[in-house]
Structure 1
Amino acid sequence: MAGSGHDRLWWMDGFALSSAVEDFAVVPPFEIRAGCEQRVPFVFNSPHSGRHYPDRFLAMTKLDRNAIRRSEDCFVDELFGGAVALGAPMLVANFPRAYLDVNREPWELDPRMFCQPVPPYCNIRSARVAGGLGTVPRVVGEGLDIYAGRLQLGEALDRIETVYKPYHETLKRLLTETHSAFGFAVLVDCHSMPAGVRVGDSGVRPDFIVGDRFGTSASAALTRATTGLLSAMGYTVAHNKPYAGGFITEHYGRPARHLHALQIEVNRGLYMDERTLTKSSGFDALADDMTRLAADLMALPDHNFLDLPMAAE
């Protein structure tokens, strides 16, 4: 398994110099955290925890350094980082979600954001674009506009070509290598959610939401095992609502081909202060529990990963 240094060189060598490349000339846009050998058929992914805000990007925004972070899944890579020592690679974004969202289709672009017309193949009518949360977002989590005016279209195309596409090529490679080595692969897509999120008419605030795209991205047994393990730890767990999984879960989850993808959303109130964006006293205990969850999932019998997906709700 290649380490982050190798992948950084691969990324820099594969594309011509551009503004997006310059944004990550010192800090690579993403990295693989892995041990010397992959020992388990799991790949962990943290696409929204990036916290390197390039100076050029900050100069383009109308938000201060604190407000621009409101879409960030703060510290999620650290919460799930114990999986690396257990033998699983983890792909981690260093670029922030406000800069580029790889949990979207590659061309979910809002034409109102740009000085020039977007290409005809762009998906301009998705609900995510309408909400300002496309591939190149218009707003951060609280509905705050990121930019004072329109962007040059080339800015978005550059980020997609030189950051988005290499990120997904790397994730696809990790999953392909895992599937080839073990006969199946499990992607755990790691996210966080605001503390105030409530579920359904009951108004329950879940500690976790496990998403499997309504039974289409992972085996029923794997989903049941994940929710059961979290519940046994004393957490309140919801399933698919309001977060069933984004583009990554939907795109890579193919249980009939023994490729499983789960999205796990963690309530930020468990481990951080959302106002100051700092860790709380509960962080270490939660990180220990996430390592235990990873270990317990890795210990499941193979039949948990080889059965058919649930029927869609």
Structure 2
Amino acid sequence: MSDCWLEVRRTDTPLILAFPHGGTILPNVLIERFVSPWAARRDADWHIADLYAGLVDATTIATGLSRSVIDCNRDPSGASLYPGQATTELCPTTDFDGNLLYRGAHPDAAEIARRRTDYFDRYHATLAAEIARLRAIHDRVVVYDCHSIRSVVPRLFDGPLPLFNIGSNGGATCAPALVDAVAAACAASGRSHVVDGRFRGGWTTRHYGKPELGVHAIQMEIAMRGYLDEPADPAPGNWPPPYGPARAEPLRLALACILNAVLDFAKGSA
């Protein structure tokens, strides 16, 4: 596979948007091992790059690889980010609903290590390099980790999610002023939001967020009903829903306000 799975667009503003779960690429050698290509792609953060496109001047880092191959937002050691709660692994063996992804044997330790070297390590080396580049220019840099998920996933959480789910790992990954600014912008949109609810920030947020060193990381998990017409039961005939610019525009307006608040904080004007 070529490097088409990793895309970087650089600017010199103190804001990085990271997209670890928007991809759908499945290496040819793996396709036949999955129960189906559709199942292996189902839990992508569908249309997430379209949702954020052009909203703010920021560096973007995105993987086009399906999270079923390797999840670039999990602890590479294999340790759970949410002990005691249902989640998926570094190289997932089930989908969000607990259905098996593989027809036969799951990836063994050697295969997981290869995927980590080929994909995970390269994604994060790129992200770390961009943080270092921008931190050399600015006193503050913000890593804003972009995510979306089906609004209702009973195995992972009870009932429908709030629309905006802000993660800072209990305030450890960024300054309180950044969380406050994002939460205020969410509240001003009139849509539901929560801070450090079911999703408190994945490995990216927890690993890079070092506010004492001028690197602030925050995760935004968006319930997909905010920009897509979600079917009650996702199936190959109705999932993923198509992306409609008009349908998504109200949420994009809210996101623009959120991102401008983040950029103001990063520039020290918040």
Where on the TM-score scale, by shorter chain, does this alignment land: which range? Answer: 0.7 to 0.9
1:139 is aligned to 94
Aligned length: 256
Larger CA Rg, structure 1 vs 2: 1
Q: CA deviation at 1:87?
A: 2.7
The TM-score normalised by the length of structure 2 is: 0.86
Q: CA deviation at 1:219?
A: 0.5
| AA in 2 matched with 1:289 | A
Is residue 57 of structure 2 the alignment partner of residue 81 of structure 1? no
Identity of aligned residues (%): 23
Please say which of residues 179-188 and 189-198 is displaced more in the overlay.
189-198
Q: Whole-Å Cα distance in 1 between the matches of residues 85 and 182 of structure 2?
A: 32
Is residue 77 of structure 2 the alignment partner of residue 107 of structure 1? yes
Q: CA deviation at 1:48?
A: 0.6
| AA in 1 matched with 2:9 | R
**Do the aligned residues in 1 keep the contact of 2:93 with 2:101 (CA within 8 Å)?**
yes
Structure 1 residues 243-276: Cα deviation after superposition (integer angstroms, max 9, x where no partner) = 1101111110011111100000111111124432
Structure 1 residues 259-305: Cα deviation after superposition (integer angstroms, max 9, x where no partner) = 1000001111111244321225522332343233222322346165x
**Do the aligned residues in 1 keep the contact of 2:71 with 2:92 (CA within 8 Å)?**
yes
Q: CA deviation at 1:183?
A: 1.4
Q: Whole-Å Cα distance in 2 between the matches of residues 273 and 248 of structure 1?
A: 29
Q: CA deviation at 1:103?
A: 0.8
RMSD: 2.5
Q: Whole-Å Cα distance in 2 between the matches of residues 207 and 186 of structure 1?
A: 22
**Do the aligned residues in 2 keep the contact of 1:50 with 1:96 (CA within 8 Å)?**
yes
1:9 is aligned to none
**Do the aligned residues in 2 keep the contact of 1:197 with 1:206 (CA within 8 Å)?**
no
1:71 is aligned to 43
Q: Whole-Å Cα distance in 2 between the matches of residues 153 and 204 of structure 1?
A: 35
C-alpha change, 1:104 and 1:128, in structure 2 (3 Å) is farther
Q: CA deviation at 1:131?
A: 4.4
Structure 1 residues 203-252: Cα deviation after superposition (integer angstroms, max 9, x where no partner) = 67411011100010011011000010111111111111111101111110
1:307 is aligned to none
Match of 2:166 among 210, 221, 228: 210
Q: CA deviation at 1:102?
A: 1.1
**Do the aligned residues in 1 keep the contact of 2:152 with 2:159 (CA within 8 Å)?**
no
Match of 1:59 among 14, 17, 32: 32
Unaligned runs of 5+ in 2: none
1:15 is aligned to none
Is residue 258 of structure 2 the alignment partner of residue 293 of structure 1? yes
Q: Whole-Å Cα distance in 1 between the matches of residues 70 and 83 of structure 2?
A: 13
2:182 is aligned to 226
For the residue of structure 1 that corresponds to 2:184, the secondary structure is helix
C-alpha change, 1:231 and 1:130, in structure 2 (3 Å) is closer
C-alpha change, 1:130 and 1:204, in structure 2 (3 Å) is closer
Q: Whole-Å Cα distance in 1 between the matches of residues 49 and 58 of structure 2?
A: 13
C-alpha change, 1:185 and 1:248, in structure 2 (3 Å) is same
C-alpha change, 1:248 and 1:282, in structure 2 (3 Å) is same
**Do the aligned residues in 2 keep the contact of 1:192 with 1:267 (CA within 8 Å)?**
yes
Is residue 207 of structure 2 the alignment partner of residue 251 of structure 1? yes
Q: CA deviation at 1:29?
A: 2.2
Please say which of residues 228-237 and 149-158 is displaced more in the overlay.
149-158
Q: CA deviation at 1:65?
A: 3.0
2:268 is aligned to 302
Q: Whole-Å Cα distance in 2 between the matches of residues 219 and 88 of structure 1?
A: 20
Is residue 195 of structure 2 the alignment partner of residue 239 of structure 1? yes
| AA in 2 matched with 1:103 | N
C-alpha change, 1:294 and 1:257, in structure 2 (3 Å) is same
C-alpha change, 1:206 and 1:167, in structure 2 (3 Å) is same
1:50 is aligned to 23
| AA in 1 matched with 2:62 | V
The TM-score normalised by the length of structure 1 is: 0.75
| AA in 1 matched with 2:68 | A
**Do the aligned residues in 2 keep the contact of 1:69 with 1:140 (CA within 8 Å)?**
no
C-alpha change, 1:234 and 1:65, in structure 2 (3 Å) is same
Q: CA deviation at 1:127?
A: 5.3
For the residue of structure 1 that corresponds to 2:4, the secondary structure is coil
**Do the aligned residues in 2 keep the contact of 1:208 with 1:266 (CA within 8 Å)?**
yes
Q: Whole-Å Cα distance in 1 between the matches of residues 160 and 224 of structure 2?
A: 15
Match of 2:65 among 95, 120, 130: 95
Unaligned runs of 5+ in 1: 1-23, 109-122, 305-313
| AA in 2 matched with 1:285 | P
